[in-house]
Amino acid sequence: MAFERNAEHFVGYVMQRPFLGCVSGVPLDQRTCDTWGDILNFQAHPEDILVAAYPKAGITWMQEIVDMIYTDGDTERCRRGPTYDRHPFIEAVAPKPVPSGLQLADSMKPPRILKTHLPVQLLPPSFWVQDCKVIYIARNAKDSMVSYFHFQRMNKGLPDPGNWEAYFSKFLTGDVQWGSWFDHVLGWWKAKDQHQVLYTFYEDMIEDPRREISKVMRFLGKDLSEEVLEKIYQHTTFQAMKENPMANYSTMPSFVMDQSVSPFMRKGIVGDWKNHFTVSQNITFEEEYKRRMEGRGLIFRTQL
Ligand code: A3P
């Protein structure tokens, strides 16, 4: 890979959780806000593929699937580097020596597989100008909230989540990095009618991963054999990715992601919210959910 992140690069480095700034009302890492002009000006290539999601919807899973489809099921090529080096995260800005998403993208030749958590209204316009294909993955809000809470606990690249009760309120009001789950899933839902956006659901992938992999393959204009599709499925199961250092973020230094606090590949199920939500939180949640989602035509499943 073009950039190295060996432990010696970080000797003496003290990791601090980031401050949040704001772009058009959306809370983002202050470092992203500071370079916002460059990010907005990102020049996509028509052959680039963008994988987009609200945090914790299963984007890493989708990235691995897309990489496998692009390499015609070449598992070795998909082990060429960790997820975060293979697929530039366009709005990511980390302390040196870690390259920014833009630097990483610039170091690669199209077609690139790019990643974003940006809400649709903040997407660099060149993706639309170039008519790029976008794969959006959405996950039900309850499981997204639980997964994001644990991720913020273990990932020092994000703000401290506080306790579960406090986090519950912050998530519902959108006072978290990348903003409101509601705005995100609804904004991209609308965009799919105007652009080349394949809107997928985490719950559908859990229910029938082979079906969803085939759907992504067709959207990307590929026609792979049943044998290759099976290889892609086997390579992207929860267990296979949990054991794959190039997909499980274990290569990220532990002072950034402390997997002893909570593993990146945590549970990978639908319905873990039932182990976290109190009865009264569930009532509060359902009221807010109804207020925001009723009549919008976007249906999520919170259990299978
Ligand atoms: P949990 O925390 O609920 O386990 P993202 O990649 O967007 O950060 O999302 C991470 C979530 O997707 C985590 O959810 C993780 O376990 C789950 N995930 C990642 N790969 C998966 C796979 N192959 N199958 C099922 N779930 C997966």
- Answer yes or no: is 301 within a domain: no
- Answer yes or no: is 245 within a domain: yes
Q: Check residues 99 and 2 and name the one with the higher pLDDT.
A: 99
The Cα–Cα gap between 30 and 285 comes to 29
Taking the centre of ligand 1 as the mean of its atom positions, its distance from the CA of residue 12, in whole angstroms, is 32
pLDDT by residue (tens digit) across 53-63?
Answer: 999 999 999 99
- Answer yes or no: is 106 within a domain: yes
Catalytic residue annotation: 117
How many helices (H) and strands (E) the chain has is answered by 14, 6
Atom 2 in ligand 1: residue holding the nearest Cα: 147
Question: Is pLDDT at 118 greater than 70 in this prediction?
Answer: yes
Q: Confidence class of residue 13 from pLDDT cuts 50, 70 and 90?
A: low
Whole-model pTM: value is 0.96
pLDDT by residue (tens digit) across 200-213?
Answer: 999 999 999 999 99
Beta bridge partner(s), residue 123: none
- Answer yes or no: is 162 within a domain: yes
What CATH number should be reported for the domain holding residue 150?
Answer: 3.40.50.300
Q: Tally the domains of the chain.
A: 1
For ligand 1, is residue 241 a contact (CB within 6 Å)? yes
- Answer yes or no: is 1 within a domain: no
- Report pLDDT for 97: 80
Beta bridge partner(s), residue 28: 21
- Answer yes or no: is 299 within a domain: no
- Answer yes or no: is 253 within a domain: yes
CB 102 within 8 A of CB 94: no
- Report pLDDT for 95: 80
Best of 147, 200, 233 to mutate for ligand 1, by most ligand atoms within 8 A of CB?
Answer: 147
The Cα–Cα gap between 21 and 226 comes to 47
Query: Which residues are CB-neighbours of 38 under 8 A, at least 6 positions away?
Result: 102
Q: Which domain holds residue 225?
A: 7-293
Specify the ligand 1 atom closest to the Cα of 266.
4
- Answer yes or no: is 281 within a domain: yes
